[in-house]
Chain A
Amino acid sequence: MTTTQDIHAPDFLAGDEFSIPTFRLLRQDGTLFEGAEAPTLERDQALKIYRTMIATRVLDERMMAAQRQGRLSFYMQCTGEEAAVIGAAAALDDADMIMSQYREQGALVYRGFSYDEFMNQLFGNELDYGKGRQMPIHYGSRKLHYMTISSPLATQIPQAAGYAYGQKMAGDGHCTLCFFGEGAASEGDFHAALNMAAVHEVPVIFFCRNNGYAISTPSIEQFAADGVAPRAFGYRMHVIRVDGNDILAVLSATREARRIAVEENQPVLIEAMTYRLAAHSSSDDPSGYRSKKEEEAWREKDPILRMQHWLVAQGWWNDDEEKSLQESLRREVLETMKRAEKRPPPPLDSLVTDVYADVTPALQRQLDRLKTHIRKYPEAYPRGARSLDPDVSAHDDAANEGGA
């Protein structure tokens, strides 16, 4: 329904009448802002969040290095956005669905996805749940309620609305949280999703990571308005802007968003203001479009350091614990990487399974032809040949090293 009041002169509005404040609790030195109140956070959960942030950063730094060494075909870091992503995940019930864009591995770490599970996907080996079919970082986990990632931007946003509608129908008290960047919010699917979610009153949290850049495009070339948050008004949706480098603010805002979603069956938009400290991906060099000075300024606002200062002030963390955690995680990443690299690729038959629930006759014929061909030229197709004939696989192990 549209409500309006009459005016009798052409008085245009530009939206400048609204300004959306940023919700912040924690200063960079780990103290609370005046009048700010920390959300209820038990020591155990606080430490779990912090360890997840460190584990994510250690994984990211090691795997970007591995990509640079040519051991991995592609990588993307979450660096600088750990508080936004992990704070949001920590505010959810573990059985709530998370739908991601691609820079939210921290949420998976929080839910217990192991380094082995990450590595198996990154190297696309026989243990990868995705059977080596997608590029690195396209994780998914059914048991952890984490939807498999796909590359097309924003497609998961209307899907999250539909998933949440199903949750509402099932009446099990769960919601869906959907991550996306401020660049993806320019896609038509963003509009479609927010409008449908508001009209159909679904328990979904749209979580925008506004990190200032979509690859090389600064947000000033992404939108003319005051960020993404004001768009919620057009859909009549609850909205909040939060300091994405402030773990306490993100946790507190997302908890309240979850309450609104689940108890009131209303969608919520959260815009987390943060900064993409790393390159967009291993295929990108940000020095071509932004200054070192700008990056340095944001490095000083590191969300991990901010939380570390707070934890130390609580008496929950110290330098020795920090050092030992960092060391053990680095060791673990290296060990799991070596394990995953050595594992064989998925079997050749996995090329044609899961296209449909059952392999169609036409697809079976195509696979049979391929097998005949590979048997003729096994040296040219070492990955595929090894699952056809064991003797070929042993012979080609050396040729099998390197990128995917």
Chain B
Amino acid sequence: MPTMNMLQAINNALDIAMAEDEKVICFGEDVGFFGGVFRATSHLQEKYGRARCFNTPLVEQGIIGFANGLAAQGSVPVAEIQFADYIFPAFDQIVNETAKYRYRSGDLFNVGGLTIRAPYGGGISGGHYHSQSPEAYFAHTPGLKIVVPRNPYQAKGLLLSAIRDPDPVLFFEPKRLYRASTGEVPEEDYQLPIGEAEVIREGTDITVLGWGAQMEVIERAVELAEKEGISCEVIDLRSILPWDEDTVAESVLKTGRLVITHEAPLTGGFAGEIAATIQERCFLYLESPIARVTGLDTPFPLTLEKEYLPDHLKIFEAIKASVAF
């Protein structure tokens, strides 16, 4: 089995999808001959031609509006937004159009073929506009699916699922891990399920939940906790919308404790939704308050990035506090 980094896995998934179905079309800013600023679309234009892999003018609302129309026509667009921070000009197209296309037309028309890829997250000295994690803005929008992979194997399997899914999918890629995360990735076609969380470590004392780049941080925190004799169950949510309530609830019914962590700010972050749902479903089994370890309610800072981020030590402290409650 070949070893790939996350970019190679994404590139490989796009290659497979384009080879399989000529309706799959990749586009965005610098996506064409150059292969994308992170090189996720390398060689795709060479292989499949300019008509199926091309640069667009620099206009995010245009990219997604164009993609909506293309998907409504029956094509399978995979649109790239260069940084998740720049998805907001397309917010109207995504929230008012993409998400509501099938519902508002009574299923006469849909944009189910659409996948929107966007690098997200901090830890790369990206400051305000190359670090954001906007998943919670979109989680408030019925009709969208939101997926975040944590490693190359997941990135490939989940992206292939997203492209073939009958609903529009926002696919947020943890850019800090693009080259940092490597692993064995099957060369052949495979898919991972959307809407299902994955228990990646079983434990009995506490459930620790996150997604994307934060999973690596959770692993480090859990190693510290295990050394202190705390048995942690670790869950990768993988899909933010729809999210796998059952797997999380089942885990918390067993452990009685929950720590949720994400890079995005606390207030209105997706951890709030999870916490509310789990206290509703697991009220009699909770032995301590549900803890949220997140970014601060500030714009994403440059110099004090390390202090801002919900790192392994902050998660470790939250685990200890929860167990000692």
A159-B69, A159-B97, A200-B54 known; A133-B106 Cβ under 8 A? yes
- In the assembled complex, the Cα of A349 lies from the Cα of B232 at a distance in Å of 41
Tell whether, in the assembled complex, residue B167 and residue A356 are in contact, meaning their CB atoms are under 8 Å apart. Answer: yes
Residue in B25, B56, B108, B166 whose CB lies within 8 Å of A148: B108
Q: Which residue of B has the minimal Cβ distance to A198?
A: B57
- Chain A minimum-CB-distance residue to B245: A362
Q: Is the CB of A152 within 8 A of B195?
A: no
A138 touching B104 in the complex, CB below 8 Å, given contacts A161-B65, A196-B62, A356-B143: yes
Task: Judge whether B112 and A148 touch: CB under 8 Å.
Answer: no
CB of A127, distance to nearest CB on chain B (Å): 11
0/1 string, B163-178, CB within 8 A of A gives 1: 0001100000000000
A interface footprint on B46-87 (CB within 8 Å = 1, 0 otherwise): 000001001011010110111111111111010000000000
Contacts known (A163-B73, A355-B143); A195 close to B68, Cβ less than 8 A: no
In the assembled complex, the CB of A218 is this many whole angstroms from the nearest CB of chain B, namely 26
A162 interface hit (Cβ, 8 Å): yes
| A161 and B102 form a contact (CB under 8 A) | no
Q: Which residue of A lies closest to B77 (CB)?
A: A162
Q: Do B65 and A155 have beta carbons less than 8 Å apart?
A: yes
Complex contacts, B195 vs chain A, CB 8 Å: 360
A165: Cβ under 8 A from any B Cβ: yes
Residues of chain B from 132 to 152 with CB closer than 8 A to chain A in the complex: 142-143, 145
Chain A residues with CB under 8 A of B70: 162-163, 165-166
- The answer to whether the Cβ of A157 comes within 8 Å of any Cβ in the partner chain is yes
Q: Do A158 and B93 have beta carbons less than 8 Å apart?
A: yes
Q: Is B20 an interface residue (CB 8 A)?
A: no
A134 at the interface (CB under 8 A from B): yes
Residues of A contacting B285 in the complex (Cβ-Cβ under 8 angstroms)? none
Partner of A199, one of B57, B68, B89: B57
Q: Given A165-B66, A192-B59, does the pair A150, B96 have CB atoms closer than 8 Å?
A: yes
Write the chain B residue with the least CB distance to A174: B73
Q: Which residues of A contact B96 (CB under 8 A)?
A: 150, 152, 155
Chain B residues within an 8 Å CB radius of A358: 166
Contact A195 B245, CB 8 Å, known A158-B66, A163-B69:
no
Docked complex Cα distance between A165 and B54 (Å)? 12
Given A159-B65, A159-B68: A142 in contact with B97 (beta carbons within 8 A): no
> Which residues of chain A have C-beta atoms less than 8 A from B71's C-beta?
162
A291 to B96, CA, bound (A): 36
Residue of B66, B75, B100, B110 with most chain A CB atoms under a 10 A cut-off: B66
User: Would you call B92 and A155 a contact (CB within 8 A)?
Assistant: yes
User: How many whole Å from B187's CB to the nearest CB in chain A?
Assistant: 28
Instruction: Please give, as numbers and ranges, the residues of chain A lying within 8 Å of B142 by CB-CB distance.
Output: 355, 363
Is the CB–CB distance between A150 and B166 below 8 Å? no
Chain A positions 140-166 with a Cβ under 8 Å from a chain B Cβ:
140-142, 147-148, 150, 152, 155, 157-166
Q: How many angstroms from the CA of A97 to the CA of B74 in the assembled complex? A: 13
The reply to whether B102 and A354 form a contact with Cβ atoms under 8 Å apart is yes
Are A192 and B109 also in contact (CB < 8 A) when A134-B104, A158-B69, A354-B102 are?
A: no
A399 on interface, CB distance cutoff 8 Å: no
A133 touches B59 (CB 8 A): no
Q: Is there an interface contact between B108 and A142, defined as CB atoms closer than 8 Å?
A: yes
Closest chain-A Cβ to B278's Cβ sits at a distance in Å of: 13
Inter-chain contacts of A360 with B (CB < 8 A): 195, 242
List B contacts of A133 (CB < 8 A). Answer: 103-104, 106
Q: Which residues of chain B are near A140, meaning CB under 8 Å?
A: 105-106, 108-109
Interface centre among A158, A163, A353, A356 (most CB of B within 10 A): A356
**Cα–Cα distance between A195 and B61 once the two chains are bound (Å):** 12
Q: Chain A residue with minimal CB distance to B54?
A: A200
Whether A150 and B69, one on each chain, are in contact in the complex, defined by CB atoms closer than 8 angstroms, is no
Chain A residues near B166 (CB, 8 Å)? 356-358
Contact of B112 among A138, A169, A189, A357 (CB under 8 A): A357
State in angstroms the CA–CA spacing of A69 and B62 once bound together: 42
Q: Is the CB of B62 within 8 A of A128?
A: no
* Residues on the A chain within 8 Å of B109, using CB: 140, 142, 147-148
Q: Which residues of A contact B21 (CB under 8 A)?
A: none
Expressed in whole angstroms, the minimum distance between the Cβ of B141 and any Cβ of chain A is 10
Nearest residue in B to A99 (C-beta to C-beta)? B69
Check if B188 is an interface residue, CB within 8 A of chain A: no
Decide yes or no whether A129 CB sits under 8 A from chain B: yes
Q: Scoring A residues 181 to 206 as 1 if CB is less than 8 Å from chain B, else 0, what string do you get?
A: 00000001101110110011000000
In the assembly, what is the distance between CA of A170 and CA of B51, in Å?
A: 11
A131 in the interface (beta carbon within 8 A): yes
- Does chain B have a CB within 8 A of A167? yes
Chain A residues in 8 Å Cβ range of B97 = 150, 152, 155, 159
Q: Most A CB atoms within 10 A — which of B65, B75, B108? A: B65
Also in contact, A195 and B65, with CB within 8 A (given A140-B105, A162-B73, A163-B72): no
Query: Which residues of the partner chain B approach A165 to less than 8 Å between Cβ atoms?
Result: 66, 69-70, 73, 75
Contact status of A159 and B66, CB under 8 A, knowing A140-B108, A150-B104: yes
| B228 in contact (CB, < 8 A) | no
Interface positions of B (Cβ within 8 A of A): 23, 25, 51, 54, 56-57, 59, 61-62, 64-75, 77, 89, 92-93, 96-97, 100-110, 112, 142-143, 145, 166-167, 195, 242, 245-246
| A-B CB contact pairs (8 Å), 17 listed | A99-B69, A129-B105, A131-B106, A148-B101, A148-B108, A155-B65, A157-B65, A159-B72, A161-B69, A163-B73, A165-B66, A167-B73, A196-B59, A200-B54, A353-B107, A354-B106, A356-B102
Which A residues form the contact surface with B (CB < 8 A)? 97, 99, 128-131, 133-134, 138, 140-142, 147-148, 150, 152, 155, 157-167, 169-170, 176, 188-189, 191-193, 195-196, 199-200, 353-358, 360-363
